[in-house]
Amino acid sequence: MSLTPSSRTSAYKPSLAWFAAIGGLWVFVLVMLGAFTTSIGAGMVFKDWPLSNGSLNPSGWLSDAAEFAEHSHRLSAEMMSLITIVLAIWIWCREERRWLRKLAGFAVALVLAQAVVGGLRVLLDHLHVETVNNSVGRLFAMLHACLAQIYVCTLLAIALSLSRPWTIPASSATIKAGAKLRRTGVVCCTLLLVQLAIAAIMRHSYAGLAIPVFPASAADGSWLPPAWDFRVGIHFAHRVMAGVLVIALPWFALRIWRERNTAPGLKEAAAVMAGLLLLQIALGASVIWTTRDPYYTTAHVIVGACTLATTFGITWWLHRETIADATPTLAA
């Protein structure tokens, strides 16, 4: 396949678009396996990396729940890395849009960084940091969780940018969204990323039950915790941010519904975003009420990622014409 600029086009490429969509879906399998591994405390079931007990296929991993969770997560990560690299090469060879080629390169950098950070989470877990009363490995686990959310958004942006509606838009989709609506989307995405970062810190600091009641913060019904330390503080911050999102996301959805020239599908996506928010609140309460049942906890992480992905996807689409206007085309 030629790498000359003349071999690249910005036209819709069905095979490439479907491959990107599959990659965008597979990443949620990776998130699910990572969340379940953390939820059952299996992140350190293997003390080595990149091998597992010194092997690519450790004996007995299919019959042990903890080993199955962690090794499946590692195998899924390897598959995701391969998908991302193939996708980036394919885009580089066939795609005319320079910004999209750069975005694909960024996805490769992210997935490689994720692999390294995930390895450091294992290899440095024996080191302890007294200042934060946590292991170095768990600090890298927090970073690993945050990078995962950015990676999800990056793959989604690539998949949307390669889709037929983006490449061959209907006339009603070519109208630019208002600047205020686009800014609202960016603010909501930022708030969600902050919330998910807080959640990662909370999860890897064993603070998921630092406040063991809900919706109050104390057994007597008080809204403020009776005693404070780092774990209580980070847990309470998670609840406060949830309250902020309960206002921000419905406001964003309402503005989309009121927009006259909304692109096809955006109003439905806004409804999905609002529904995911309600489900996420219910799952968060269930995590507390069931004393961190691993299935509810895993579902809470997955729905959080889906909420971010939906909000980001809407926001990315609202910027479609802005991105197109700012994109220089390559000479044939």
**138-156 pLDDT, tens digit each:** 999 999 999 999 999 999 9
Reduced to 3 states (helix: H, G, I; strand: E, B; else coil), residue 9 is strand
Per-residue confidence at 322, pLDDT binned at 50, 70, 90?
confident
Per-residue confidence at 132, pLDDT binned at 50, 70, 90?
confident
Per-residue confidence at 4, pLDDT binned at 50, 70, 90?
low
Average pLDDT over residues 251-264: 86
**174/271: higher pLDDT:** 271
Q: What is the pLDDT of residues 54-67, one digit of tens each?
A: 998 899 999 999 99
Average pLDDT over residues 238-254: 97
Contacts of 257 (CB under 8 A, 6+ apart): 267, 270
pTM: 0.91
Q: What angle do CA 186, 184, 278 make, to 5 degrees?
A: 90
Structural domain boundaries in the chain = 1-168, 170-332
CB contact at 8 A, 314 and 185 = yes
Average pLDDT over residues 9-33: 92
**Residue 329 pLDDT more than 50?**
no
Locate 42 and state its tokens: 């299996």
Res 90: pLDDT: 97
Res 139: pLDDT: 94
**Residue 173 pLDDT more than 80?**
no
Res 175: pLDDT: 56
Q: Which residues does residue 52 pair with via DSSP β-bridges, in sequence order?
A: 55
Average pLDDT over residues 108-126: 95
Average pLDDT over residues 74-102: 95
Res 324: pLDDT: 66
**Residue 1 pLDDT more than 50?**
no
Helices (H), the chain: 14-39, 65-94, 98-123, 136-162, 164-167, 179-203, 230-258, 266-289, 294-318, 320-325
Residue 9 to residue 11: CA distance in whole angstroms: 5
Per-residue confidence at 309, pLDDT binned at 50, 70, 90?
very high
Average pLDDT over residues 14-38: 94
Res 144: pLDDT: 95
**Residue 288 pLDDT more than 80?**
yes
Mean pLDDT, the chain, rounded, equals 91
Res 2: pLDDT: 47
**32/11: higher pLDDT:** 32
Per-residue confidence at 264, pLDDT binned at 50, 70, 90?
confident
Res 331: pLDDT: 36
Average pLDDT over residues 77-98: 95
Average pLDDT over residues 299-319: 96
Res 261: pLDDT: 72
Res 330: pLDDT: 39
